[in-house]
Chain A
């Protein structure tokens, strides 16, 4: 009996960490634009979005640490989870770790992910885990702004100049293969859905595709085929080389000077 309860807890911890990792890695990628944005107001916009995401990550990591410590009192904190885990332990999907590329790639990556996050959090508000539901309820308000902002950019660039249109086509080419993973539930997601504290992500796909379709049409961009081969593995800890570079940058200080503080 205890074993099965412990297994359920482990999967809940994995699921919570996955939600946190998605937010942290995308938050980190967005923050790389700080000081380099194409226009001041957009530099500020993307770094604000980054901040929202990092806030979500903090909430989920804090909760995961609580769950872990309850299981084995190992002294986990939001910081140990964010800064001391290695590549194979991160459970973010591949989409969020992709390079920023140009502005077209960045805003498209944001759009594709934020619509997914919106649909996910909308359902997660009804999670039978009150803390997960509370985090989702709070984050949802902010994700609405992320979807609005990024969808407007998709339309601006898609239905913009010949150059911006071309870059949007290339961005779609680069990123589309990473979208399938979002809707392919991995083991802990299946457990989570079965136990009622998260959702079956496969059920989000149709509505997601609808939003993508409507926005792409407004942007005069061809809607990509959803039935193509998709990359996957991020949720299982098998990442692209991108993640190692991200962690080398993000974690260097904590891992070189363990326990350092302001």
Chain B
């Protein structure tokens, strides 16, 4: 009996994750909150649904919209009593982005984040690792600005095809 209950719980958690895959980043609509690594835990505490999320960047304005969209998506599927818990630690990192998410980013025209560098230095004018152009795949690209249209992205330009593109900064 207890095993059956556990299996039910597990399959229900899977359902919820599937619902969460429909909740997208409002700025980058090809990425779901699951792909982004924002969803840290799905749990049932005394039959009440508790979802733990972590914000990407400290000041990310999309997080409030994402919270609202998570509630709406789950309410539509009958989960009205939801506790949405936010944790700050361990800090979100682009290493938590799924491979699927990275491919979708590239297809959308945004260069996906590279693996986190081992050493994060403060030095000025560091040699940046070459970022691949998501349009023509050339590595002959240059950094225009470390800050792009959103806090998480930097602005690059391809010297081959001349197209500007954004790079999701490793964080």
A residues at B contact (CB < 8 Å): 41-42, 44-45, 48-49, 51-56, 58-59, 115, 118, 130-131, 133-135, 137-139, 141-142, 144-145, 147-149, 151-152, 155, 211, 215, 218
A215 neighbours in B (Cβ, 8 Å): 124
A48 neighbours in B (Cβ, 8 Å): 147-148, 150-151
Which partner residue on chain B sits nearest A152 by CB separation? B124
B-side interface residues, number (CB < 8 Å): 29
Contacts of B100-146 to chain A: CB distance below 8 A: 120, 122-126, 144-146
The answer to whether B125 touches A155, judged by C-beta atoms less than 8 angstroms apart, is: yes
The answer to whether A144 touches B144, judged by C-beta atoms less than 8 angstroms apart, is: no
Interface residues of chain A: helix, strand, loop or mixed (majority) = helix
The answer to whether A59 touches B122, judged by C-beta atoms less than 8 angstroms apart, is: no
The answer to whether B57 touches A44, judged by C-beta atoms less than 8 angstroms apart, is: no
Partner of A139, one of B58, B120, B123, B169: B58
B residues at A contact (CB < 8 Å): 55, 57-61, 87-92, 120, 122-126, 144-151, 155, 169, 171
Known: A44-B149, A45-B145, A55-B57. A134 touches B88 (CB 8 A): yes
The answer to whether A118 touches B57, judged by C-beta atoms less than 8 angstroms apart, is: no
Nearest Cβ on chain A to B107's Cβ, whole angstroms: 25
The answer to whether A52 touches B125, judged by C-beta atoms less than 8 angstroms apart, is: no
The answer to whether A148 touches B58, judged by C-beta atoms less than 8 angstroms apart, is: no
Could you tell me the distance between the alpha carbons of A252 and B162 in the complex, rounded to whole angstroms? 46
Which partner residue on chain B sits nearest A153 by CB separation? B124
Nearest Cβ on chain B to A82's Cβ, whole angstroms: 14
Nearest Cβ on chain A to B1's Cβ, whole angstroms: 38
Closest 5 CB pairs of A and B: A55-B59, A55-B58, A134-B89, A134-B88, A51-B59
